[in-house]
Amino acid sequence: MLVYLIGFMGSGKTTVARKVAAQLNWKFADLDRLIEARTGLSVEDIFCEKGEPFFREIESEVLRSIDKVQNMVVACGGGTPCFNDNMDFMSKTGFTIYLKMSVNALKNRLSKSVTVRPIIKNLAGSDLSDYIERTVTSREKHYSRAEVIVDGLDADISEIILEVRSHLSYNP
């Protein structure tokens, strides 16, 4: 059984996915890291050298190659649900959880973050704010298709575990 954590950049998907996996005693995977392992390139280099369309192709391919038999929590990339029918695929093959965060909280976190994120690395100030606002708004229709929506800012791990267990009891 796979649990997919989705949400915008900076919403804490990786941290939450790790914690949920540890408590369930399941495996954990970060889709960006799987893409890096598959291509031998960093996500940043893929964007720089090959461009976003190539990244989206590989992202969808790697997503579909994850072994569905094992129990695993997968932290997706911020754009994963928004391309190539990936949200349909994730809904069919696992349990989707959206870590939702307000545009203001995202602006705050991403403007302070030291993590290199190729999509926003050249943006600052009001350009960054505008980008976040615009992109969250256009991606929301994909994110909100998740089976469960939780507060990303104050993610309650035990609540997420309960949701996963309850899903499992209906889909053993």
Binding mask 45-84 for ligand S3P (x = CB under 6 A): --------------------------------xxx-----
Stretch that binds ligand S3P, among 85-93, 96-104, 116-124, 144-152 (CB under 6 A): 116-124
Q: Does residue 105 bind ligand S3P (CB under 6 A)? A: no
Q: Does residue 117 bind ligand S3P (CB under 6 A)? A: yes
Q: How many helices (H) and strands (E) does the chain have?
A: 8, 5
Note whether 37 and 138 are within 8 A (CB). Answer: no
Strand order across the beta sheet in which 72-75 lies:
27-30, 72-75, 2-6, 94-100, 148-151
Amino acid identity, position 134: R
Size, binding site for ligand S3P by CB under 6 A: 10
By the criterion CB under 6 A, which residues form the site for ligand S3P?
A: 9, 13, 32, 43, 77-79, 117-119
